[in-house]
Amino acid sequence: MATDPTTPPVVEFRSVTKTYAAGTRRAFTAIKEVSFRVDDIPGHGEFVSILGPSGCGKSTILRLIAGLLPQHPPTSGEVLMRGKPVTHPGPDRGMVFQDYSSFTNRSVLDNVAFGLECDGMPKMERYDLARDWIGRVGLDPVKDLHKYPHELSGGMRQRVAIARTLILKPRIILMDEPFGALDPVTRQQMQDLLVGLWRELEATVFFVTHDVSEAVYLGDRVLILSNSPGTILTEEAVPPPNRPSREMRREPDFVNRVFEISSLLEKLEEAAQHS
Amino acid sequence: MSPTPDPPESKPKSAEPTDPSLSGALGQDTEGNLPHRGMRTDRGRLARWFTIRDEPGGLERFLFGIACILLVLLIWHILTRGEGEARIVDPYTLPSLKKAFGSFHELWFDRALMRGAIASLTRVLAGFLLAAAIAIPIGVIAGCFPRFHAFLRPLSIFGRNTPIAALIPLTLIWFGLGEVQKVMFIFLAAVAFIFFDTTMSVRSVPGNYLDTAYTLGARSSWKNGLRRALYFGLAYALLAAFGLHWLSEAPQTIIAEAVDGKVPEQPSFLTQGAFWIHALLGLLVGTLLWLPVQSHQAISKVLFPLALPNIVNSLRLLFGLAFGYIMLAEVINAEFGLGKIIIMSQRIGPREHIYLCLMVIALIAFAIDRLILIIQRRAFPYVSHGH
C-alpha cells in the first residue's frame, strides 16, 4: 500500500522527551528522544501495537497523543497530528483505558451516548445511534440498555468503553491495555471484536499492551520500547489480523514471531534489573 | 440527571461481587455472602454475633436497636423506682418514667410542642438551605480548580475550627434578636463544613473519569453555561424572595395560625419593592455561582454528578448536627422553639418536659435522616448506601 507523500502523517513524534518534576531531585524521565511517524493509509488506517517492559513509558506516548495532563505537554520535542502540534484532548482521538472508566452514574445507553450528548445532538437521535453501537459491540440492545456499570462484568464494561469511543468515529483510536484486566477467553473475544470494528472504521489505532501475542495478532506494526527512559528500540511489521485469533495463533510463523519478540523483551527486562 | 427506569430491586444478578451492605439495604438475603455457611445450629447463631463483619438481616438489626432502647428505659426505671429514701436517684435529679411520660399531655397542649418543633425545624431548614445553596457551588468550583481552593482554604479552616457557641454573641450583635439571627447562626455554623465536604467529594472523583470525558469531547462554553445557570438563578430568586419575605413576616404567627387551622391572610407581597429586590439578588447570585459549573461539561456532566451522592450524604449528616445547634440559639432568646421549651422547663418546670423534648428532638432528627436516606436510595440507585 503506497502512502501519499504530500499529506502529513497522522501522528508524528519528533524526538519527544518527557521528564516529570524536571529540575528537582525527584526528576523522572519517562520517555526519551522518541521519534516515529504513522502515515495515513487511505481506506485502511494502521494498527500500531506498542510493546515494552513495564514502566517504559508506553502509556506516556498514548497520553501525549491524546493531549492529556500531566503527560502533555512534552518536555522537549514535538507531537504532531496531521502536521499540527497537539494542544488539547479532543473527540478526534478516542481513548479506551485499562481501568473501567464508565461513568457510574449513567446507564449503558447514556454512557455510550455521552460524546454525542457533549456535542449537542438531540436525545432521540443520539439514543438511536447508541442503541445501534451497543448491538455492534455485542451487548444486548434491549436488556443491557438501562443497566448501570456496577451491574456489568469487566468484559461488558470494556464493550461499553469501546462503543462510546467508536460511536464518535475518531480518526485515531488510543487503547491503553484495554483488555489487561480480562480473563483469557473474554480477551480473545474482545480482540476479534476489535479487529472487526476497526476494519469498518478504517482508523489509525495505537494499542499499548504487554501481551506479546496480542500485539503481534492485532498489529500491522509493532513498536518495541526499551526500559525507562523509554526509547523506540525497534519496529517490526507483522502480518495483519486477517483470520480469526484462534486460527492465526496456531500458525508456525506467528508462533516464531511471538517467541522472537518475547525473548527480546526478556533481555530488556533483565537489563533493567541489573542496571 | 439521567432517568432511572430500573428500580434497584429488579436488577439481575451481576457477575460483580455484590456489596453485602447494598444487598442488605435492599432487603435481600445476605446469607450467601457469609463466611461460615455451615454454622446454622443455635450455637452457630450465637457464634455469628462474635464474627467480625458478619452482617445481620434487617429485622435482626432492628431488634438489636429496640433492645438498646429497652435497656436504657429499664435502667431509668430501676434508678427512679420507689419513694423517698428508697430511690437510688432523687426525683429532683431524675423524674420517674411514669411521671415523665405522664406530662406529655401538658407539653403538647400547654407548651405547644408541635408549634415549637415546627419553629425550630423551619429555622434549621432555612439556615441550612442557605448554607447549602452557597457552599455547594463554591465547593464544586474549589474542588475542580485547586488554585481557587488554595485561595479559600484559610476561610474554610477558620470556619470549621471556630467554636459554634462563640458565634452566638456575634450573631446577636449583627442580626438582632429576631428570626434572622437564628437562621444566620445556623448558616454560619454549617457553611464551612458543607463547603469542605463538597470540595473533598469533587476532588475524590478519580481522574480517569475526567480523562475519559475529555477524550469523548467534553467542552467548555460560557454561552450554554449561562443558559443553564439561569435556571439555577431563577430557583435562587424564588427562594430568596419568598424566604426573606417569610422571615420578615414574623413567622411565629404564620406557624401559629397554620397549626391552629386558620388560613393566614394573603399578603400583598407582589407590590413590595423589597420582594423584587430580593428576587433580583437571588437571580444574580444563583446565576453567578453556577455559571462556572455549568459552563464546563467536564464538571456539569461528569465531576459534579459523580460527586453528588457523596455531597448529599454529607448534607444528611451535617443536617443532624445543625439541628442540634439550633438549640444553642434558642435557649438564649426565642419566643418559640424546642430550645425555648427546654429552658422554660428548667426555670419554671416541670422538668420532666426536658427529657421529653430531648426524645422528640432525637425522633425528629432520626426521621429526617431516614427521609433523606430514602431519597438518596431513589436518586442514586447505583451507589451502595449505609443502613
In the Cβ-directed half-sphere of A155, how many Cα atoms lie within 13 Å?
A: 17
Q: Could you tell me if B301 lies within 8 Å of chain A, comparing CB atoms? A: yes
CA distance B359 to chain A (A): 38
| Cβ-contact B233, B112 below 8 angstroms | no
Q: What is the rounded CA–CA span in Å between residue B41 and residue A18?
A: 64
- Across the interface, of B6, B11, B208, the residue whose CB is closest to A101 is B208
pLDDT at B327 over 70: yes
The model's confidence at residue B37, banded by pLDDT at 50, 70 and 90, is very low
pLDDT at B254 over 70: no
The model's confidence at residue A275, banded by pLDDT at 50, 70 and 90, is low
All cell numbers assigned to B360: 422528640
Chain B residues with CB inside 8 Å of A161's CB? 212
The residues with which A18 forms a beta bridge, in sequence order, are A31
The model's confidence at residue B256, banded by pLDDT at 50, 70 and 90, is low
Q: Could you tell me if A175 lies within 8 Å of chain B, comparing CB atoms? A: no
Q: Could you tell me if A118 lies within 8 Å of chain B, comparing CB atoms? A: yes
All cell numbers assigned to B365: 432528627
pLDDT at A42 over 90: no
Q: What is the rounded CA–CA span in Å between residue B202 and residue B219?
A: 19
pLDDT at B309 over 90: yes
Chain A residues with CB inside 8 Å of B205's CB? none
**Residues near B216 by beta carbon (within 8 Å), at least 6 away in sequence:** A91, A94, A114, A115, A118, A164, A165, A168
pLDDT score, position B149: 95
Neighbours of B177 (CB within 10 A): 12
The model's confidence at residue A272, banded by pLDDT at 50, 70 and 90, is low
Amino acid identity of residue A175, one-letter, is: M
The residues with which A205 forms a beta bridge, in sequence order, are A47, A173
Give the length of chain A: 275
Whether ipTM > 0.90 holds is no
pLDDT score, position B114: 86
pLDDT at B109 over 60: yes
The model's confidence at residue B108, banded by pLDDT at 50, 70 and 90, is confident
Cβ contacts below 8 Å, chain A against chain B, sum to: 93
- Across the interface, of A66, A119, A152, the residue whose CB is closest to B215 is A66
> Are A95 and B12 a contacting pair at CB < 8 A?
no
Q: Helix, strand or coil for residue B82?
A: coil
CA distance from start to end of chain B: 24
CA distance B59 to chain A (A): 27
> Are A151 and B209 a contacting pair at CB < 8 A?
no
> Are B12 and A151 a contacting pair at CB < 8 A?
yes
CA dist A221 → A31, A209, A237, B36 (Å): 20, 13, 4, 53
pLDDT at B174 over 70: yes
Neighbours of A197 (CB within 10 A): 18
> Are B217 and A119 a contacting pair at CB < 8 A?
yes
- Across the interface, of B6, B301, B306, the residue whose CB is closest to A104 is B306
The model's confidence at residue B192, banded by pLDDT at 50, 70 and 90, is very high
Q: What is the rounded CA–CA span in Å between residue A163 and residue A156?
A: 10
Helices (H), chain B: 20-25, 42-49, 58-80, 97-102, 104-109, 113-144, 146-161, 167-175, 179-203, 207-215, 222-248, 251-260, 273-295, 297, 304-332, 338-348, 352-379
CA distance A190 to chain B (A): 17
Which helix or strand (DSSP H or E) is residue A273 part of? helix A252-274
Mean pLDDT: which of A207-221, B24-38, B230-244 is highest?
Answer: B230-244
> Are B215 and A164 a contacting pair at CB < 8 A?
no
CA distance B62 to chain A (A): 28
Neighbours of B110 (CB within 10 A): 10
Under CATH, which number does the domain B105-220+296-379 receive?
Answer: 1.10.3720.10
> Which chain B residue lies closest to A119 (C-alpha atoms)?
B217
> Are A146 and B380 a contacting pair at CB < 8 A?
no
> Are B211 and A68 a contacting pair at CB < 8 A?
yes
> Are A118 and B11 a contacting pair at CB < 8 A?
no
The pairing of strands A232-237 and A221-225 is antiparallel
pLDDT at B195 over 50: yes
Chain A residues with CB inside 8 Å of B215's CB? 66, 68, 89-91, 93-95, 165, 174
Helices (H), A177-228: 184-201, 212-218
pLDDT at B4 over 50: no
Chain A residues with CB inside 8 Å of B2's CB? 105-107, 110
Chain A residues with CB inside 8 Å of B144's CB? none
| Cβ-contact B218, B301 below 8 angstroms | yes
**Residues near A79 by beta carbon (within 8 Å), at least 6 away in sequence:** A11, A12, A13, A14, A16, A64, A65, A72, A85, A86
Under CATH, which number does the domain A11-100+176-183+211-274 receive?
Answer: 3.40.50.300
Cis peptide preceding B350, ω within 30 of 0: yes
All cell numbers assigned to A5: 507523500
What percentage of chain B reaches a pLDDT higher than 70?
Answer: 82
Is the pLDDT higher at A260 or at A164? A164
CA–centroid distance for A222 within its chain: 12
Chain B residues with CB inside 8 Å of A68's CB? 211, 214-215
Among residues A208, A168, A204, the alpha carbon closest in space to that of A7 is found at: A204
Q: Could you tell me if A165 lies within 8 Å of chain B, comparing CB atoms? A: yes
CA distance A177 to chain B (A): 14
In the Cβ-directed half-sphere of A34, how many Cα atoms lie within 13 Å?
A: 36
**Residues near B3 by beta carbon (within 8 Å), at least 6 away in sequence:** none
CA distance B221 to chain A (A): 11
> Are A153 and B14 a contacting pair at CB < 8 A?
yes
> Are B213 and A114 a contacting pair at CB < 8 A?
yes
> pLDDT averaged over chain A?
83
Q: Which of B11, B26, B201, B212 to mutate to test the interface with A (most CBs of A within 10 A)?
A: B212
> Are A151 and B305 a contacting pair at CB < 8 A?
no
| Cβ-contact B338, B327 below 8 angstroms | yes
Q: Could you tell me if B299 lies within 8 Å of chain A, comparing CB atoms? A: no
Give the length of chain B: 387
CA distance from start to end of chain A: 42
Q: In this structure, what are the phi and psi dihedrals at residue B249, rounded to the nearest 5 degrees?
A: -90, 40
Neighbours of A253 (CB within 10 A): 10
The model's confidence at residue B384, banded by pLDDT at 50, 70 and 90, is confident
Among residues A248, A223, A244, the alpha carbon closest in space to that of A234 is found at: A223
Least confident of A133-147, B16-30, B230-244: B16-30
pLDDT at B226 over 70: yes
Is the pLDDT higher at A266 or at B27? A266
Q: Could you tell me if A121 lies within 8 Å of chain B, comparing CB atoms? A: no
Q: Could you tell me if A108 lies within 8 Å of chain B, comparing CB atoms? A: no
Among residues B104, B109, B52, B118, the alpha carbon closest in space to that of B252 is found at: B118
Chain A residues with CB inside 8 Å of B296's CB? none
pLDDT score, position B221: 86
Determine the average pLDDT of the residues in A179-194.
85
Is the pLDDT higher at A47 or at B267? A47
- The b/e string for A26-59 (b: 16+ C-beta within 10 A; e otherwise) is eeebbbbbbebebbbbeeebbbbbbbbbeebbbb
Longest pairwise C-alpha distance within chain B: 80
CA distance B387 to chain A (A): 20
Q: In this structure, what are the phi and psi dihedrals at residue B360, rounded to the nearest 5 degrees?
A: -60, -40
Per-residue pLDDT tens digits for B63-74: 999 999 999 999
The pairing of strands A11-20 and A28-38 is antiparallel
Among residues A51, A71, A63, A47, the alpha carbon closest in space to that of A208 is found at: A51
All cell numbers assigned to A187: 480477551
> Which chain A residue lies closest to B16 (C-alpha atoms)?
A153
The model's confidence at residue A256, banded by pLDDT at 50, 70 and 90, is confident
The model's confidence at residue B290, banded by pLDDT at 50, 70 and 90, is very high
Among residues B66, B221, B204, the alpha carbon closest in space to that of B139 is found at: B204
For every residue of A110-144, DSSP letters joined together read: HHHTHHHHHTT--HHHHHHHHHHHHHHTT--TTTS
> pLDDT averaged over chain B?
81
Q: Could you tell me if A101 lies within 8 Å of chain B, comparing CB atoms? A: yes
| Cβ-contact A57, A17 below 8 angstroms | no
Q: What is the rounded CA–CA span in Å between residue A79 and residue A65?
A: 7
pLDDT at B255 over 80: no
pLDDT at A213 over 70: yes
pLDDT score, position B209: 93
Q: What is the rounded CA–CA span in Å between residue A95 and residue A172?
A: 9
> Are A95 and B211 a contacting pair at CB < 8 A?
yes
pLDDT at B127 over 80: yes
Chain A residues with CB inside 8 Å of B213's CB? 114, 118
**Residues near B94 by beta carbon (within 8 Å), at least 6 away in sequence:** B76, B79, B80
Among residues B358, B357, B368, the alpha carbon closest in space to that of B320 is found at: B368
